[in-house]
Structure 1
Amino acid sequence: MNSKYAPIFQPFTLSNGITLKNRIVMAPMTNFSSNQDGTVSDAEVKYYARRSAGVGMVITACTYVTANGKGFHGEFGGDRDELIPSLKRLASAIKEKGSKAILQIFHGGRQVPPELVNGDVVSASSIPAEGEGKPVPRELSEQEVEAIIRDFGETTRRAIESGFDGVEIHGANGYLIQQFFSPHSNRREDRWGGSLDKRLNFPLAVVDEVKSVAAKYANDSFITGYRFSPEEPETPGITMADTLYLIDALSEKDLDYLHVSLNDFWSTPRRGIEDTRSRIEIIQERVGSHIPVIGVGSIRTADEALKALETGIPLLALGREIIMDPDWVQKISEGKENEIITKIDKTKQNELVVPDPLWQAIIHTPGWFPGV
């Protein structure tokens, strides 16, 4: 290995004592490839196993905590005990390759396809997402809000029983947790909405429930992370100032990491604060002394990863890059960083071990992956 890349391979120990073997994480990416009954498919197991040997930690695609939170066709479930054997297959496949296995848990809220939930699309308020033809969601009652919070806890219990090393609470990408935090989607006037502090109540309640369940059913080494999107394009919408307020609160919750959801690691704030640095650098400065931050976004080469780590961010998540080249980490460790593949090869589906639904999405979505 070229010695200049040694920082990529330095082990990293989380606050709970768990050590990751290196600084690279497989980012959560929806693959549309689960069985119709919500179980993990054979193709998915192979897909994850193929990518689990090099990275220090694998964060799975999101799994829904309630049936009406299913956000995608071909998404695996975590909403009932009958799915524990399915989840166990996935956790085992990842861990057998030497990586920590993290189950991402979520509820899709107003973003779910109506046909997947019998038309009962729900959210914090009856405000549709922007865009033509978006369904108007039904506002959740207080009792339903409390039930969904408990569902996040129950899915955490199933993750523990399935052998996962941790869970990641998916508070990003416009799904239900973010919908409660956002002034665009949350127009409530009860304890779950209104002021910024009240819009924080649902995300923080989910964190508290997950942490409580983990303390009850797992040992101290169980990992709990939280993913968030730092800004929204809508007006009103989440600003960078709002996000700094959110992460201040999250940093007091004894989480093991925060995971920023971005397409570009170096993207800068849109509004809310006056700062020309990247969002991730601002976030790292704000909470990095309290809680590790995972950075992400179009990091394709070893040199790009090294530059990102030099900002002080301790962990980097790779999504599309690990799909295009499952041996990304190993190539750097073997001194073959110049052989890293940075464009999708449309002739290599079988070699890359990509399930057909995901492959079809990749090759029919121009601009999503380099080379398409």
Structure 2
Amino acid sequence: MDKKFAPLFEKVTLPNKVELRNRFVLAPLTHVSSNDDGTISDVEIDYVEQRSKDVGLAISAASYVTDLGKAFPGQPSVAHDSDIDGLKRLAEAMKKNGAKAIVQIHHGGAQSLPRLTPNGDAAAPSPITLQSFDEKEEHHAREMTNEEIEQTITAFGEAARRVIEAGFDGVEIHGANHYLIQQFVSPYYNRREDEWGENRLNFPMRVVDEVVDTVKTYADEKFIVGYRFSPEEAETPGIRMETTEELVKHLIEKPLDYLHVSLMDVNAETREGKYQGEGRVKLLHQWIDGRMPLVVIGSIFTAEQALEAVESKNVELLALGREILLDHHFINKIKNGKENDIVSKFDPNSEEKHDLPPNLWNQFNEGFYPLPRTDGK
């Protein structure tokens, strides 16, 4: 290995004293490859074992905590005890080569797909009509009742229990990407006039507390709990960096082991407001103030980009998303001095080059995700 890349392979110790073998994280990637009922598929096992083998921390695809929260075709479930057997297989595959294995627990909220949910239903903090994931037309999401909100909070805790029983090392609470938890924080999605709207941080903090209490009951002190969030929304009125500052300062008071910011570009700057033009990651790192590691993702396609992110001193852990899908040997190639052989562009004419599950290959080939491509499309 070129010694300049050594910082990427430094060990990282979490607040609960768990040690990660390097700074790389497998991002929670939507692979659309679980069975139709949400149980774990053989294709999924092979895929996740490949992508977990070299990272320090591996996070599963977003896994729905209630049937009403299903937001993707081929999405895994943690909503039922009957899911546990498959989850055990997934845990074993993710941990096989030394990574710590995490399940991301999720609810789609307004973005749940009615064609996949019971009775074609979708529910959100407030009524809204929108188009989500692969939909051709908009769907309507109704307002959740207070009883449903309480049941959903409990469901996040029950999902954490199942994750523990399945033998994983931790959970990540999905509070990002316009899904239910973020929707409660957002003034665009949450226009309620009750306690859930008057304090929009009420729902995410209750979910965190429910998960933490579950972990205290069923797991030991080595079980990892993380939280993912998106720092800004394009919508008006939407989440701004000032909102996220408040969120982060609440989260660092909780017994969490890391925060994970969802970005398309690690170097992204704040859109508007008090912090306009300032680097988002730098601000977040300042607000966290060393209380826990920050996981950052965003357009890392080369070894040099990975090194630059870590050497900024604002990134403790670096999540790989689209790049680890393009080349699951990314980390190994850096470690063995072959960083120039990394595959950083999608080649639609060489399916074997990327070794993707069929459904995910089709999405890449059809341009569903923005990617560097060999054909320039």
TM-score by length of 1: 0.96
Within the alignment, does 1:370 sit opposite 2:363 as a pair? no
Provide, for residues 244-270 of structure 1, a one-character-per-residue CA deviation record: whole Å limited to 9, x for no partner.
111110111111011000111111011
Aligned partners of 1:352, 1:88: CA distance in 2, in Å? 26
Aligned residues: 369
Residues 1-372 of structure 1 correspond to what in structure 2 (within 5 A)? 1-117=1-117, 118-129=119-130, 133-194=137-198, 198-312=199-313, 313-350=315-352, 352-365=354-367, 368-371=370-373
Paired residues of 1:299 and 1:305 also in contact (CA < 8 A): yes
**What are structure 2's unaligned runs of at least 5 residues?**
none
Equivalent pair of 1:192/1:201 in contact (CA under 8 Å): yes
Question: In the alignment, is the contact (CA less than 8 A) between 2:231 and 2:261 conserved in 1?
Answer: yes
How far does residue 348 in structure 1 lie from its aligned partner after superposition?
4.0
SS across alignment from 2:174: strand
Matched residues in 2 for 1:232 and 1:269: separation?
A: 10
Identity of aligned residues (%): 49
Q: Distance in 1 between matches of 2:174 and 2:369?
A: 25
What code does the residue aligned with 2:214 have? V
Structure 1 position 335, deviation (Å): 0.9
**Displacement of 1:350 after TM fit?**
4.0
Cα distance between partner residues in 1 of 2:155 and 2:124? 15
Alpha-carbon separation, structure 2, partners of 1:85 and 1:353: 26
Secondary structure of 1:114 counterpart: coil
Match for 1:110: what amino acid?
A: A
Indicate conservation of the 8 Å contact 2:232/2:238, yes or no.
Answer: yes
Q: Secondary structure at the match of 2:151?
A: helix
Q: Point out where structure 1 has 5 or more consecutive residues left out of the alignment.
A: none
Q: Give the stretch that moved more between structures: 237-246 or 272-281.
A: 272-281
Distance 1:331 1:45, change over 3 A: same
SS of the residue corresponding to residue 87 of structure 1 reads helix
Contact 1:50 1:353 in 2 (8 A): no
Distance of 1:204 and 1:130 partners within structure 2 = 28
Deviates more, 1:167-176 or 1:113-122: 113-122
Q: Deviations over 1:129-173 (max 9, x none)?
A: 478943221111111100000000000000000011000000000
Query: Which whole-Å CA distance do the structure 1 matches of 2:358 and 2:140 have between them?
Result: 32
Deviation by residue 1:200-231 (Cα, 9 ceiling, x = unmatched):
00000000000000010000010000000101
CA offsets, 1:302-342, max 9 Å, x none? 11111111222111000011011101111111111111111
Q: Distance in 2 between matches of 1:61 and 1:350?
A: 22
Distance 1:7 1:169 in 2: 28
Q: How far, CA to CA, are the matches of 1:244 and 1:254 in structure 2?
A: 18
Task: Tell me how far apart the structure 2 counterparts of residues 33 and 288 of structure 1 sit (CA, whole Å).
Answer: 38
3-state SS, counterpart of residue 269 of structure 1: coil
CA RMSD for the aligned pairs?
Answer: 1.4
1:109–1:175 CA contact under 8 A, matched in 2: yes
Output the amino acid matched with 2:174: H
Moved more, 179-188 or 304-313: 304-313
1:38 Cα deviation (Å)?
Answer: 1.2
Range with greater deviation from structure 2 (175-184 or 307-316): 307-316
- So what's the TM-score if we normalise by structure 2? 0.95
Contact 1:242-1:272 at 8 Å conserved across structures: no
CA deviation string 1:257-306 (max 9, x = no partner) = 11000111111011232343321111011114112111110011111111
Q: Could you say what secondary structure the match of 1:105 adopts?
A: strand
Check whether the contact 1:180–1:203 (CA below 8 A) recurs between aligned residues. yes
Change (3 A) 1:93 1:367: closer
Tell me the CA shift for residue 99 of structure 1: 0.8
Contact 1:71 1:107 in 2 (8 A): yes
